[in-house]
Amino acid sequence: MSNNKGCLFATPFIGGLFILMMLPMLFWNEGRAINTYRSLIEGTAAVISVAADTVEPANEGKLVHIAGRATNNKPVRDVLFGITEEHVLRLKRTVEMYQWHEKSSSKRSGSENSTDYSYYKDWTDETIQSNSFHREGYDNPPMPYHGEIFNAETVTVGAFVLPPNMVEQMNDFQQIQIEKAPELSRPVKLINSGYFYLGKNEKSPEVGDVKVSFAIIRPGEVSVVAQQRGNSFQPYDTSYYPVELFETGMHSAKALFTMAQSKNTVLTWMLRFMGFMGIFVGLMMIFKPLTSLLGYIPILGNMANFGIGLFAFGIAIGLAFVVISLGWIFYRPVLGFSLLVVGLAGFAGTWFAVQKFQHKSEQ
């Protein structure tokens, strides 16, 4: 009982810290979004499209755009499992082990909270630390092998060599068929040429059994916008952020910049929503002792919880708009002041709503 009370009264402190983390994140996000937008606009004006089959020394240091077929002439190997693939760009080993999982469910009985734990077995590609389970008898062994990605030593697009960070952005893996099981320290089965199985019976897996499969990325078309440096690429410095764009498929320079602006917009709104929800959750944590106390009064408690939730929602919107507007005032003053007015209107609307709610409660 005392532990529950201690946690209850620590909740507002945690909620306050949560809000203090969300506010600077929202401000930073606006600066990131604006500077990314400006960088891409500057890059759009500077880029030149060049042929991929020849490296022109005159373009050294310039922002260039190429599009062509990415290829590799050397084999890519996973020495441990004896897998060799010719001409591929990337080779991925996926390892899954059959393990115990812990699932928790919370219940509330009166003023007491209780948590029940249940256990089930399933495949997963990461080690589940069973020593942190709340009950004994559900032990997972360590994984004998782990997943890994092997990249081609040199990936070329015409006369250009792609830097490793661009190769690592290729993720369109396709699973391959396996010809022969490797010789390992434990028995290995080849299942329908699809994957290796380390265990007694793949149809009735036991904890500790392992599946290993492989996938590759074959040669294919890619598009690049970056600074030409020798026969390769590096980020191009603008007045704000460096520009370096990479996409699979054949795309014009204009299309690459349009996609980058779209990604910037999506990320901006995702972080805004995350910041708003963080503030809202933080406020609800601050009010948690009050809502728990009022929860003992059935009808009044439900009304008060709704009112507090509505109040926290309004304050969260207002705070988010104010912080976003301050970010825009810092980077783009005209629009920033407009957003500040919206944020202050949110505070005012919340205040009038609370006053109206109190007036109805008194009647």
State residue 363's pLDDT score: 54
Task: Give me the helix-helix angle, 2-46 and 298-331, nearest 10°.
Answer: 30
- Unique residue bearing structure tokens 């203090």: 20
Domain-wise residue ranges, the chain: 2-40+262-362, 73-218
**What mean pLDDT do residues 80-91 have?**
94
Please tell me the predicted confidence (pLDDT) of residue 100. Answer: 96
User: Across all residues in the chain, what is the average pLDDT?
Assistant: 86
What pLDDT band is residue 163 in, cutting at 50, 70 and 90?
A: very high
- By C-alpha distance, which of 338, 265, 312, 325 is closest to 23? 325
The Cβ of residue 120 has, within 10 Å, a number of other Cβ atoms equal to 10
What pLDDT sits at residue 192? 83
CA–CA gap between residue 157 and residue 161 (Å, rounded): 6
Residues 220 and 249: their CA atoms lie apart, in Å, by: 7
Sign of CA dihedral 222, 52, 166, 39: negative
Least confident of 162-166, 233-237, 351-355: 351-355
**Residue range 142-154: average pLDDT?**
96
Q: What is the pLDDT of residues 34-44, one digit of tens each?
A: 999 999 999 99
pLDDT for 306 beyond 80: no
Span 57-76, pLDDT tens digits: 999 999 999 999 999 999 99
pLDDT-derived band at 1, boundaries 50, 70, 90:
very low
Is the pLDDT at 289 greater than 90? The verdict is no
Give the contacts of 1 (CB within 8 A, at least 6 positions apart).
Answer: 112
Specify the pLDDT at position 6: 46
- SS3 per residue for the chain: CHHHHHHHHHHHHHHHHHHHHHHHHHHHHHHHHHHHHHHHHHHHHHCEECCCCCCCHHHCCCEEEEEEEEECCCCEEECCCCEEECCCCEEEEEEEEEEEEEEEEEEEECCEEEEEEEEEEEEECCCCCHHHCCCCCCCCCCCCCCCEEEECCCCEECCEECCHHHHCCCCCCEECCCCCCCCCCCCCEEECCCEEEECCCCCCCCCCCEEEEEEEECCEEEEEEEEEECCEEECECCCCCCECEEEECCCCHHHHHHHHHHHHHHHHHHHHHHHHHHHHHHHHHHCHHHHHHHCCCHHHHHHHHHHHHHHHHHHHHHHHHHHHHHHHHHHCHHHHHHHHHHHHHHHHHHHHHHHHHHHHHHC
pLDDT in tens, 122-140: 999 999 999 999 899 999 9
pLDDT in tens, 271-288: 999 999 999 888 888 877
pTM summary value: 0.80
pLDDT tens-digit series, residues 332-356: 665 555 655 665 666 566 566 656 6
